[in-house]
Amino acid sequence: MNSFNDILEALKVSEKRIISVACAHDDDVLLAVENARRLDVADAILVGDADKIKQIADENGIDLNNYKVIDIKDKNEAAREAVRQVSGGQADMLMKGIIGTADFLKAILDKEIGLRTGRVLSHVAVFEIPGFNRLMLLTDAAMVVAPDLKTKIDIIQNAAEVARKVGIVKPKVAVLAAVEVVNPDMPATLDAAALAKMSDRGQLKDILVDGPLALDNAVSVESARHKGIVSDVAGMADILLVPDIEAGNVLYKSITYFARGMISGIVMGAKAPIILTSRSDSDEAKLNSIALATLVSLK
C-alpha cells in the first residue's frame, strides 16, 4: 500500500470492525467516528455521558440509531467499560475520547480488564509525504519518553507489525541519530550500532535494521551514496526510529506542517490497536488513524 487511499480501498472489501470509544461525548471524536462509519471503515460503540453524546449528535446531524451507546457519566468508569468492550470481544479496537491520557492508560493497563500483553506500548505514525512514492513509518513520537536499548527492540517490533499490515513484508528500520558514525559520546549512536548488529545476526526476525543513520541518508539514496554508506536500509528506510520523544515529536509535526504530509498514528503493544488522536489533528488525520487501526485489527 502506497497511500491512505490504498488503505481505505482495502477496508472496503474487508470484514467490518468495531471501535470502542472511551468518553465519547466529544465533538471532534464523534465527528471522526461518524465520518469513518459513513465511509464503511468501521462502526463504533460510544461509551460516556449519553446526554452529552445526544446533544453533540443532534448539533452535528449524527443519527445515534447507528450506534450502541453505553451511558456512564464518570470518565474513569467510562474508560474502564470501553476497555472491557475490547477485552470482552465486543469491539476490535479502542479510541480515546474526552479523558486525560494518564487515566485512559490506567484503564488499558488494568490487571483485571485491561489490554496488557507484556510488551511496551508505543506510538506508531504512518505518513504519506508529497514527493515520496510510498508510505513511511515513524516511532515513537508520543508515548515513550527516553527508551533504552531493550525498549527500542519492542518499539521496533510494534512498528514492524504495522508495516506488515500495509504490505511491507520485511521492513527496513533506520535508527536515527545526528550522525551516521558511532560516537561514544552520543548514546543514540551506541544503541543504533547494537540494534544493527542484532539485525545482522538474525535476532530481529524478518526486520532489517541499520544505524546510526542521519535523517538525510535514511530516506535519500543520493545522500547515502554521497556519504559512501553501503546499506540495504540507507536511503530506503520504511521505519524511522527516533532516539527520544522530543526528536519524534518535532519530526512528526515537521512532516505535518512543513512538508504538508498526510499522517496517522496509533498505539501498539496492547491486545488491540489504540486510536489516540489530538484535538490539533485534522479531520483527515483522525480518519486516517481510524483506518490504520482498523487495518491493523484485521486478522
Q: Chain-wide mean pLDDT for the chain?
A: 95
| pLDDT of amino acid 238 | 98
Q: Determine the topology of domain 4-116+270-297 in CATH.
A: Rossmann fold (3.40.50)
122-128 and 136-139: which strand pairing? Answer: antiparallel
**Torsion of the alpha carbons at 7, 12, 15 and 20, rounded to the nearest 10:** 70
| pLDDT of amino acid 197 | 97
Whole-number Å distance between alpha carbons of 64 and 72: 16
CA atoms within 13 A on the CB side of 287: 18
| pLDDT of amino acid 13 | 83
| pLDDT of amino acid 283 | 83
CATH superfamily, domain 122-257, is: Isopropylmalate Dehydrogenase (3.40.718.10)
| pLDDT of amino acid 216 | 96
Residue spans of the domains in the chain: they are: 4-116+270-297, 122-257
Instruction: Determine how many CB atoms are found less than 10 A away from the CB of residue 1.
Output: 18
pLDDT in tens, 159-193: 999 999 999 999 999 999 999 999 999 999 999 99
Residue 150, phi then psi, degrees to nearest 5: -60, -40
46 close to 16: Cβ distance less than 8 angstroms: no
Asked if domains 4-116+270-297 and 122-257 share a fold, the reply is no
Strands (E), 72-205: 93-96, 122-128, 136-139, 172-176
DSSP type of residue 117: -
Ranges of residues in the chain with a pLDDT under 70 are none
pLDDT in tens, 100-111: 999 999 999 999
Burial class (CB in 10 A: 0-12, 13-18, 19+), 134: middle
Pick the closest to residue 84 from 109, 104, 114 (CA basis).
114
